[in-house]
Amino acid sequence: MLAITAVTTFLPFSSEKHAAGRLTTAFHALLAIAALLAAGMAQAEDGYDLWLRYRPLPDTQAALYRSHATQLVLPVATPTQQATRDELLRGLGGLLGQAPSVGSAVERDGAIVVGTPASSPVVARLKLDARALGHDGYLIRQTMVDGRSVTAIVGQSDVAAMYGAFHLLRLLQTARPIDHLDVREATRMSLRVLDHWDDLDGHVERGYAGNSIWDWQKLPDWLDPRYTDYARANASIGINGAVLNNVNANAAILTPLYLDKVQALAKVFRPYGIRVYLSVKFSAPIEIGGLKTADPLEPAVQRWWRAKADEIYARIPDFGGFLVKANSEGQPGPQDYGRTHADGANMLADALAPHGGIVMWRAFVYSQTNADDRAKQAYAEFKPLDGAFRTNVLLQVKNGPIDFQPREPFNPLFGAMPKTPLMMEFQVTKEYLGFATHLVYLGPLFEEVLRADTYGKGKGSTVAKVIDGELDGHKLTGIAGVANIGTDRDWTGSDFNQANWYAYGRLAWNPQLSSRDIAEEWVRATFSNDDGFVKRVVDMMMLSREAVVDYMTPLGLHHLMGKGHHYGPAPWDASGPRADWTPVYYHRADHEGIGFDRSSTGSNAVAQYAPPVADEFNDLKKIPDAYLLWFHHEPWSYRMRSGRALWDELVVHYTQGVDDVKQMRATWQALDGQIDADRYRKAAVFLGIQEKEAQWWRDASIAYFQSLNGLPLPAGYAPPQHTLSYYESLSFPFVPGHRP
């Protein structure tokens, strides 16, 4: 809500009488503005507050909650404790219209008691045991202290208590009942990390929300308040790590100049339980260390990395560790010296181990000269290395075997490396999903992958159970999300993109959560608690992911986007520099049919999955329609389950995607006036862009494939609005987020 903090009136040096009159006029103007605000007629919002808006609740709801928030009883001896107190005061004051008093003893009914048994004598007296919930887990329980009713938030660490405080605020924001609370929360993942693909010059690779939020030029001296708000937002959803720089790393990040800057950010994040990590370039010993080799088995290289780790931890004692992209897309790595990925990861792991650091080694690799199916390469390189990695190495695996497509089958490495802890890598930024303007809620995508059954140890061996350690007994567990955050005022390029950051964090904390429940939670915190509004917006969000699959890549098609920038359709592109960077490599369409044959009669990528999964993907009678063209090349006349020919089915799906966006747009238009005008209008305009671009995707794709098969469109379906040559002529050299 707009806040009036000061009014400056410029007065002529004439008379006190005239000055008094002008002041009276200004005062009346202030009263008029205040009346408008009170009437709810001028509530401007810009999205900066994310889901932590803390706007006043309705009077009856606020009065009910105020009886449970009369006082805060919590220690304030550490930065985390102080941050927890400040958040509760901010949140309760905003939601309830008044902030509770703060004290060290319970003085009245309705107090909120926060802390650990070690930090708070009051908590210690409650004898509420949170030890089984781990370092980050917490409980929230209504109980009694000296005959007075209290709400206790208890953890084994200050950060756990902070997470519990955010949980309580979330309940209030979303108008949930808080009588008789008995909440026990324990995270399923020890590392819950955001990967920032931010370069040192401020560019963000695959970033669609402005420049990098890290202002390296002004660090370490100027600490933008935005850094603290970033930390608050992450802590509110349980994210506990940030990789600050691009996986296509610049070795300069490891120089003293930049380590001082990293140290400054680590200090801001520390009270919120967030550790910093760095992407490192494998050739750093050559580029900044003066060595002639980066061979991981060379003693001088090993000494260099040990010394570098010592240097980092001297500045940042709680430094998290390294993220590494090696021997992928031209990046240097151990294979340059005839060594394995395990050799490279273990060398770095040994350097970090004395300090408790970890290595996240990315499995997104494919050889520079690829004679086989690109989808098979990660499995081929890493499966033989199962069990060869140090105990402080996590193998970071993308959700699918290609590259963050609108839909992919789960990566076959999940369930195939029981001796190696694997961490998930999701993409929160929408590189292949319409950038910032398309409304695409990724919760269903994340949920689909996490619930996929690998059959690694029989039925029920879900991807979630692989990465949370349950399936194979791993203690080191993790999940990473490629961030969608930038300097745009709304952080993510649109208000609805915030939902993907939020959903990632909530599922990182608990991969068993429902994406629909998360969407409802986000809508209530971000926009409104009106049940009718919430249901319509959640329905729209839940429709959005399938809509984008339909208008971009239906029935298992994939990687049809424009080369390099990945903006818009280009299924006709066959230009170099390598085949597996071109759409024609993936769809393999010709006059006779379409699809990539990965069945047992093709590249046999199906064999990388456990037998029950391989059998389903291999058998045309069993494979879901959603994956048909991922695993099979079929004639245009192939009869689908719907009874339609494959060509007709593709046209139906392309058209359905556009129709779904039209439905989303109509839903949003019907909600005009139910939220603030600025955020409503921006989403309305973006949905208009999405409808136009969905139509573009549909028409360009149909025009191209029709040029190959020469088939008519099914009856009742409109032809493309332009010729194929028109779509092929479009060029986009300056779209955001591409790699320079």
From the list 387, 499, 468, 483, the residue with the least C-alpha distance to 429 is 483
First-last CA distance in the chain? 40
- Give the residues across from 183 on adjacent strands: 140
Determine which one of 49, 205, 381, 431 is catalytic. 431
The per-type count for the chain, helices as H runs and strands as E runs, is: 22, 16
CA–CA separation, 644 and 637 (whole Å): 9
CA–CA separation, 297 and 517 (whole Å): 49
Element (H, E) at 278: strand 275-280
Determine which one of 195, 199, 205, 403 is catalytic. 403
Determine which one of 329, 531, 590, 672 is catalytic. 329
One DSSP character per residue, 496-557 reads TTHHHHHHHHHHHH-TTS-HHHHHHHHHHHHT---HHHHHHHHHHHHHHHHHHHHHHSGGG-
CA–CA separation, 76 and 82 (whole Å): 5
Q: Which residues of 470-509 are buried (b: 16+ CB within 10 A; e: fewer)?
A: ebbebeebbbbbbbbbbbbebbbbbbbbbbbbbbbbbbbb
- 114: which DSSP letter? E
Q: Which residues contact 229 (CB under 8 A, 6 or more apart)?
A: 48
CA–CA separation, 432 and 688 (whole Å): 19
Query: CB of 199 within 8 A of CB of 205?
Result: yes
From the list 626, 616, 603, the residue with the least C-alpha distance to 405 is 626
Q: What is the CA radius of gyration of the chain?
A: 28
- Amino acid letter for position 359: V
Ramachandran class of 127: left when φ > 0, alpha when ψ lies in -120 to 50, beta otherwise: left
329 is catalytic: yes
- Give the residues across from 73 on adjacent strands: 103, 113
| Cis ω for the linkage preceding 577 (within 30 of 0) | yes
Query: CB of 608 within 8 A of CB of 376?
Result: yes
CA–CA separation, 322 and 278 (whole Å): 5
Helix or strand or coil: residue 728? helix
From the list 436, 480, 474, the residue with the least C-alpha distance to 456 is 474
Give me the sheet containing 101-103, strands edge to edge.
Answer: 101-103, 71-73, 111-115, 148-155, 138-145, 182-185
Residue with tokens 């520079």: 368
Here the tokens at position 229 are: 């708000």
From the list 329, 150, 316, 294, the residue with the least C-alpha distance to 242 is 316
Query: CB of 550 within 8 A of CB of 660?
Result: yes
CA–CA separation, 363 and 731 (whole Å): 32
CA–CA separation, 95 and 172 (whole Å): 8
- 238: which DSSP letter? T
287 is catalytic: no
CA–CA separation, 275 and 267 (whole Å): 9
Query: CB of 477 within 8 A of CB of 468?
Result: yes
Task: Tell me, letter by letter, the H, E, C secondary structure of 422-481.
Answer: EEEEEECCCCCCCCCCCCCCCHHHHHHHHCCECCECECCCEHHHHHCCCCCCCCCCEEEE
431 is catalytic: yes
Task: Tell me, letter by letter, the H, E, C secondary structure of 75-107.
Answer: CCCCHHHHHHHHHHHHHHHHHHCCCCEEECCCC
Name the residues annotated as catalytic.
Answer: 329, 403, 431
